[in-house]
Structure 1
Amino acid sequence: MTTLQSNSPTFRFTMLVIMVFIAGFVQGMLLPLLAILLEQAGYSSASNGFNAIALYIGILIASPFIEHPVRKYGYKPVISIGLIAVIVTLLLFPLWQSFWFWFILRLIIGIADNMVHFSTQVWITSTSSKAVRGRNIAIYGLAFSAGFAGGPLMSNLLAIDERLPFVIAALFCAMIWVIMLKLRNEWPDNTVETVQQSGVLGRYLLVIKYGWFAFLPPLTFGFMEATIHASYPIYAMRMGIDIEWLSFILPAFVVGGVITQIPLGLLSDRAGRKRVLLLLATVGALIFLAIPQFEHHIPLLIAAFLVAGGLLGSFYSLGLMYMADLLPRQLLPTGNVLIAISFSLGSMLGPVTGGVLIEWVGQGSLYYAIGSLLIVLIVAGLIFRPVYRGEQ
């Protein structure tokens, strides 16, 4: 299904990049901000981690149901409703500081944020030719990472007023929503037999068969991202690291990913996605396993997070690129659903695992957890063999 008037490719791509920046910004702000507020309110690290997974439960709940509305109504209405829901929910956070109220609001944010994230993601992958896909998805990942890096800086506004971060973020989202209204609606490709006749279950099984390994990097990235931003503030305070340093440590990981996002995307176009992923995972695992030896040396710790982010911060976009390489175009919406589900599962496991490990293991626990997961990914990558390449 197509529109009578098409969007300018440059305007469309620019708007999609801005919207995914917003999705990253909201997630990046809420994880450390609410973790700090709940820790100061006296909640345990395990309870804090449980509250943090609400956002990813929302993403997980929404993921199987977003594909149908996008195929039926197009990208723009789904994005618009998602942005409106994010705006309203952000304004509700300061009204009542309650564990379960915030849990429900995080759940709604997860659903709404995924509506924005999924729709922009499919729109970009579906409208990018294979020649420029790596570059476009790298820029997409860069935008999300930049938003995620900027989000934690909002925690500094807590010293002025606890309501200020939520209000500013809501106003920012509202401005983008107004600009987004100029974008014309479009629909994904629904024309091929594999989409029309294989059925929902058949599509999911085909996607898993063709590209199961491509979903592991987003899962790993979700685990790392949620662990670092939701559990690490608690871990740092328990280990005696000043809270002021978190404004440098947390963004360092994301900034590293921002710096290398496009170069790694272009490198994977030439050297191959899987080869690049395995190399990055190997070096990243070594760094995280070594961090406990110098975690109280703050300059070294920040440098390690910066380098680790540079190596691993592109895992979501590299997994997305690899998935797009492995699947036919008509299965990309279903593949994007599984990317979102994988990311959500990793993001849910991160805070829960992190909270338990902080309580029971203590020093070094988060680093060892991330390093071990990267080793599992490396082994899986050595086993995986592509079955089908979508555009070859």
Structure 2
Amino acid sequence: MHYFILISVIIVAGASQGLLLPLLTVMLEHQGVSSDLNGLNATMLYIGIFSTLFFIEKLLKRLGFKRLLVYALTLITCVLLLFPVFKGIWVWFALRFLVGVGDSALHYASQLWVMTTSTEQNRGRTLSFYGMSYGIGFSIGPLGMNLLHFGEWAPFVAIALLCLVVLAAVVFILPNYQVMGAKNDGPALEKRYLRSFQWAWFALLPAFLYGYTEASMNSSFPIYALRIGLDQEWISFLLPFFGIGGLILQLPLGMLSDRIGRKKVLMGAGLLGGIAFLVLPVFGANAWAILVLFMVAGGMLGSFYSLGLAFAADVLPRAYLPSANVVATFIFSIGSIVAPNLAGLGMQHISISSMFWLLGAFFIAFSFLGVFYKRSCRVEPIQAEAAISEPM
């Protein structure tokens, strides 16, 4: 029961991100906001995520999983209801920042719990199911744009109500698990952050690529679609198929990584996903071709974050996992912050298709980098009780 409540938290977190990014982008585009300023506004979500990295590990150890999840869900729910009240890009800068803070807390707590309670034999499958849950929410989110027919407030109220339902389950059912080893769990934090990336850089880079892809697709694709002549309804219809592709292949790729190794799966998926992105602009405004390529790219790349975390847990000692999670979130945030600005500038000054050219190049380059990565640290077995304890 506790695990499924955690999964519901992730579904709602994915739905809020999946809705807000394209919804606010489309609303600002209709207001005549330029693509580069629109992209800058979208980055505030990820700047909010980034800002939590300086205290989130200590905060989780102090509050425990339940209280951190409660505070984060409460913050997100309140902010969602403020979007239709305080309209305009400048207020939305602050509101998007606060949503990012809440989302970061939700993801950090839930990811660490799943990582530390899984074994090496089932880690790919377990984290893939976690990724599938986020993908379900992220795929459902853009469909909320269709509620705009009832008023600009309708999509925000709908997702806020979902947050309230999950918040009630967390408050009344979920126990307050505590993180153990808060004081004597390996080297100093700064050294663990550096060593985590030094030892597992190839496993952590997927976090950057996933963040870059997510932000590009949800904040910049709506602009791309509108400017090549697709209707707004097509945007809300097409975006979920990127997530649907990930849902279809998330678990199979995770299970395959348990059998043949996560590095091989990451390299192969990155290569195929990169090719799909490079080919996409060739089909112009052919919505059905875009749909198929979205499913291919999403299928290959939708599990990148979870597979990267699983690979990091394979190659890092137990004491480094909380810090590696912070590093992954940091890299994810960097990719997410860079993406809307880079894509917006590219579409404004180079080519409307430049966002897909860059996405394809990034993933293909990542696949070739895998040839040079070698495991360089000794792995300690990960036991669930070493990281999480029952409530006092």
Q: So what's the TM-score if we normalise by structure 1?
A: 0.94
Percent identity, aligned pairs only, is: 40
1:156-195 pair list within 5 angstroms: 156-181=146-171, 182-190=173-181, 195=185
Any conservation in 2 of the 1:33–1:152 contact (CA below 8 Å)? yes
Alpha-carbon separation, structure 2, partners of 1:166 and 1:192: 41
Could you say if the C-alpha distance between residues 389 and 263 of structure 1 is closer, same or farther in structure 2, counting changes exceeding 3 Å?
farther
C-alpha distance after superposition, 1:331-363 (max 9, x if no partner): 211111111111111111111111001111223
Once residues 236 and 45 of structure 1 are traced to their aligned partners in structure 2, the CA distance between those partners, rounded to angstroms, is 12
| Equivalent in the alignment of 2:389 | none
Partner of 2:5: 15
- Separation in 2, partners of 1:363, 1:91: 33
Instruction: Provide the residue aligned with 2:32 in structure 1.
Output: 42
Whether the aligned pair in 2 keeps the contact of 1:32 and 1:233 (CA below 8 Å) is yes
Q: 1:341 to 1:191 in 2, by over 3 A?
A: closer
- State the match for 1:325 in structure 2: 314
Residue in 2 aligned with 1:303? 292
Residue equivalent to 2:222: 233
1:17: Cα distance to partner? Answer: 1.0
- How far is the alpha carbon of 1:121 from its aligned partner? 0.7
1:98-132, CA deviations, whole angstroms, 9 ceiling, x for partnerless residues? 21110100000000111111101111111122222
The answer as to 2:256 corresponding to 1:275 is no
Number of the residue aligned with 2:121 = 131
Cα distance between partner residues in 2 of 1:188 and 1:330: 12
How big is the shift at 1:64?
2.7
Tell me the equivalent position of 2:274.
Answer: 285
List gaps (5 residues or longer) in structure 2: 382-392
Counterpart Cα distance in 1 of 2:320 and 2:351 = 44
**SS of the residue 1:77 aligns to:** helix
Say which of 82, 85, 91 aligns to 1:92.
Answer: 82
Normalising by structure 2, what TM-score?
0.94
* Counterpart for residue 74 of structure 1: 64
51-60 vs 69-78, greater mean Cα deviation: 69-78
Whether 1:368 and 2:368 are equivalent positions in the alignment is: no
Contact 2:220 2:343 in 1 (8 A): yes
What's 1:3 paired with?
Answer: none
Amino acid at match of 1:144: Y
Q: Which amino acid aligns with 1:90?
A: L
| Superposed displacement of residue 391, structure 1 | 3.5
RMSD across aligned positions (CA): 1.3
Could you tell me how far apart the structure 2 residues matched to 1:287 and 1:93 are? 35
CA contact (8 A) 1:82 1:112 kept: yes
**Post-superposition CA distance 1:313-343 (Å, at most 9, x none):** 1111111111111112222111111111111
Counterpart CA distance in 2 for 1:223 and 1:250 is 15
> In the superposition, relative to structure 1, how do residues 253 and 188 fare at CA in structure 2: closer, same or farther (>3 Å)?
same
| Aligned partners of 1:123 and 1:188 also within 8 Å | no
CA contact (8 A) 2:61 2:182 kept: no
> Which of these residues, 41, 49, 52, is aligned with residue 59 of structure 1?
49
- Counterparts of 2:193 and 2:225, CA distance in 1: 40
SS for the counterpart of 1:95 is coil
> Is 2:293 aligned against 1:341?
no
How many residue pairs match? The answer is: 380
The corresponding residue for 2:96 is 106
Mean CA deviation greater in 41-50 or 245-254: 245-254
- The one-letter code sitting in structure 2 at the alignment partner of 1:122 is L
Is the CA contact 2:122–2:258 (under 8 Å) kept in the aligned structure 1? Answer: no
Contact 2:44 2:100 (8 Å CA) reproduced:
yes
